[in-house]
Amino acid sequence: MLEIVQQILNGLAIGAVYTLIALGLTVVFGILGIAHFAHGSVAMLGGYLTFAVMERWGLPFFVSMALAMIAGALAGLLIERLAYRPVRDAPHINAFIIALGLTMMVEGFNLLAFGADQVVIQTPYRAVFNVGGIAVAELRVIVIVTALSLIGITALLIRKTKTGKAIRAVAQNRNAAILMGVNVERISQVVFGISSALGVAAGALIGALLAIAPGVGESLAVKGFAVLILGGLGSVPGAVLGGVILGVSEAMAAGFISSAYKDVIAFLVMIGVLLLRPEGLLGKR
């Protein structure tokens, strides 16, 4: 029993990161209708950047992460401007194929710039607390808190600010928003910036929690989408629930079956949900 609780706790940390990835994906999808598959690879780029800044300049983890997030936001602006905007009026399949091409490019760039070896970001949060026989690692708690704060800040931005209002308007009805004087191109840029910054944060957290390596980006993107499929598109509570389910089932699989098959189990959960509730657990029918 104690071990089950332990695994659930382990799964929550990774699930929080998956939710962060999924949030970045869902805002882009909501505004631009693009399945931004390169998001996972951008996240990995962020993880590498965080690592590089820490190594090179000896800055603390969170400062490095913030710098990487700014760089990531700029990369997001570039991606939106150069790759996605030219196919804005083309069929959606074109944007998706561009996303696949971008994935290859970013993965290739990561490989060239940072090598093929896996990288683990060393953080000073190494303490382990013992709470009633359960080992609670400080790092996991910090990851969960960071991810939840970023999710909260993003939700506030979208709910409370004027730009957030414009973002929601474009998501609901693009043409009506244009008629009301919303600058859709600026909104697209803002959304890509926010989304990429969130992705970079997720990459840094993954780098601290597990490791970053070539190929992780693609699997991260798939998991982000799996979270959306689990939770239902466009629902933030759904994304949180989906992230928790995916993270916990992965941790359970790693703990009780085999860590080699943890991705397989996670995807089987997603496929099971698709079979039973294709609209997602909290999605609208």
Partner 1 sequence: MNQLPIFWLKGFGVLIALIGFLAVPSWLTLPYFLHLFILALIWTILAQGQNLIQGFVGYVSIAQAGFMGVGAYFSTLVSVKLGWPVWCSIALTPLFTGLISVLVGYPSLRVKGHYFAIVTLAYNMVIFTILMTWKSLTGGEAGIPNVPRPVAIDWFGIAINFEGRSNPNYYFLVLGLAALATTLCWMILHSRVGRTLLAIRQNEPLAESVGIDVWRYKLFAFVLSASFAGLAGALYAHYIGFLNPDPFGVDQSLNAILAVILGGSGTLAGPVVGSFAVVLLPEYLRIADSYRLITYGFILVVATIFLPRGLVPMLGAAVRLALRRLGVVRHG
**Which residue lies nearer to partner 1 by CB, 98 or 244?**
98
Residue pair 150/201 in contact by the 8 Å Cβ criterion: yes
Nearer to partner 1 (CB atom), residue 62 or residue 267: 267
Q: Is 257 in the site for partner 1 (CB under 8 A)?
A: no
Site for partner 1 in 21-40 (CB under 8 A): 29, 35, 37
Amino acid found at 213:
A
Instruction: Please tell me whether residue 1 binds partner 1 under the rule CB under 8 A.
Output: no
235: left (phi over 0), alpha (psi -120 to 50) or beta: beta
| 14 contacts partner 1 (rule: CB under 8 A) | no
204 near partner 1, rule: CB under 8 A = no
d(CA 41, CA 75): 12
Q: b/e string for 148-158 if b means 16 or more Cβ within 10 A?
A: eebbeebeeeb
77 lines the binding site for partner 1 (CB under 8 A): no
Residue that the structure tokens 């991810």 belong to: 147
Nearer to partner 1, 80 or 150 (CB): 80
Q: Verify binding: residue 155, partner 1, rule CB under 8 A.
A: no
**What 3-state DSSP class applies to 128?**
strand
Measured from the Cβ of residue 253, the count of other Cβ atoms closer than 10 Å reads: 22
| Among the listed residues 21, 68, 190, 229, the single contact to partner 1 using CB under 8 A | 229
83 binds partner 1 (CB under 8 A): yes
The Cα–Cα gap between 210 and 72 comes to: 20
The answer to whether residue 241 forms part of the interface with partner 1 (CB under 8 A) is: no
Is 97 near partner 1 (CB under 8 A)?
yes
Q: What is the dihedral of CA 249, 253, 256, 260, to 10 degrees?
A: -160
Between residues 129 and 261, which has the closer beta carbon with respect to partner 1? 261
Q: How far is the CB of 246 from partner 1 (least distance, A)?
A: 12
Question: At its nearest, how many Å lie between partner 1 and the CB of residue 235?
Answer: 15
253 binds partner 1 (CB under 8 A): no
Q: How far apart are CA 93 and CA 96, in angstroms?
A: 5
Q: Which stretch binds partner 1 (CB under 8 A): 1-9, 94-102, 144-152, 242-250?
A: 94-102
Cα 145 from Cα 3, distance rounded (Å) = 23
Is there binding between residue 281 and partner 1 (CB under 8 A)?
A: no
Buried b / exposed e along 114-145 (16+ C-beta atoms within 10 A): beeeebebebeeeeeeeeeeeebbebbbbbbe
Binding site for partner 1 (CB under 8 A): 29, 35, 37, 83, 86-87, 90-94, 96-98, 100-109, 111-112, 215, 218-219, 221-222, 225-226, 229, 258, 260-261, 263-264, 267-268, 270-271, 274-275, 278
